[in-house]
Amino acid sequence: MGIKYKTIEILLNPRNIKHYRKLNYVDRDGGWNPKDFGPINKKILVNIIDLPKGSEINIIFICDKCGIEFEISWKLYNRRIEKTDGKCFCESCFDYKIISYLQKDVSKYLISLGFNDIRHEYDCKIKCINPKTNHLLPYDNEIFINKKGLVIEVHGPQHYKAVNWFGNTDDNKYNFKYLVWKDNYKEDFALNNGYYYLVIPYWTEKDHSWQTLIDDMIDTIKSEENE
């Protein structure tokens, strides 16, 4: 879980005191008279994971994919992890509506071609470290063809243009430039370590041309092996 800080100070009020009392954060009186419907004006330190799932409190997270810090509500975070298998992603890495479906199709197609040992993200043998953050820059897919490594990256629209995730033009431009830099760095790292590198753009999903990209790359690797 990519939570930067493990605890947070919250203000007790009539709506949340029962929740924290059940978790043994508050004495029975809690400094609050049940007949008093005003604010308690008492702050306590709680573990962030003990916040109610619907809490609108903003929390600072560290993206599990790219390593940047970002801030969203605890409520939104809990909605997201249901769609990302528990992974914590920033706005730029959270294009699940397009990218996750294409990524799943790519995995299924590779399996249909006989690649049963497909590695994803943090399970990949190749480990690319971001020199700016010292965090891992994971690859989407890694397969081996006659001991030759192939990295297959599935890129959503945020890899080709500044996507309006935050509503702030400057933030969008910065995040886009940073993402492009990381893409280039990951590609160079893979190639310099003897891997083949293939990018599948999101628009190839419409006509399934991504399958041709994979087939052509595999044919290229096999033909070079035979030379």
Q: What is the pLDDT of residues 215-225, one digit of tens each?
A: 999 999 999 87
Instruction: For the full predicted model, state whether its pTM sits above 0.85.
Output: no
Q: What is the mean pLDDT of the chain?
A: 84
Give the separation between CA 80 and CA 90, rounded to whole angstroms: 10
Q: DSSP character for 136?
A: B
Q: 130 CB contacts (<8 Å, ≥6 apart)?
A: 66, 67, 136, 137, 182, 185
* Domains present along the chain, CATH in parentheses: 7-92 (no CATH), 95-226 (3.40.960)
Say if residue 128's pLDDT is above 80.
yes
Three-class secondary structure of residue 68 per DSSP: coil
What is the pLDDT, as a whole number, of residue 168? 53
What is the pLDDT, as a whole number, of residue 227? 64
| 140 C-beta neighbours (distance < 10 Å), count | 21
Phi-psi domain of 121 (left: phi exceeds 0; alpha: psi -120 through 50; beta: other): left
**H-type alpha helices, the chain:** 17-22, 74-81, 96-112, 169-192, 209-226
Q: 42 CB contacts (<8 Å, ≥6 apart)?
A: 11, 12, 30, 31, 32
The string of pLDDT tens digits covering residues 132-185 is 999 999 999 999 998 999 999 999 888 888 866 544 566 778 888 999 999 999
| Between residues 163 and 118, the one the model is more confident about | 118
| Closest among 194, 162, 164, 165 to 180, alpha carbons compared | 162
| Between residues 54 and 199, the one the model is more confident about | 199
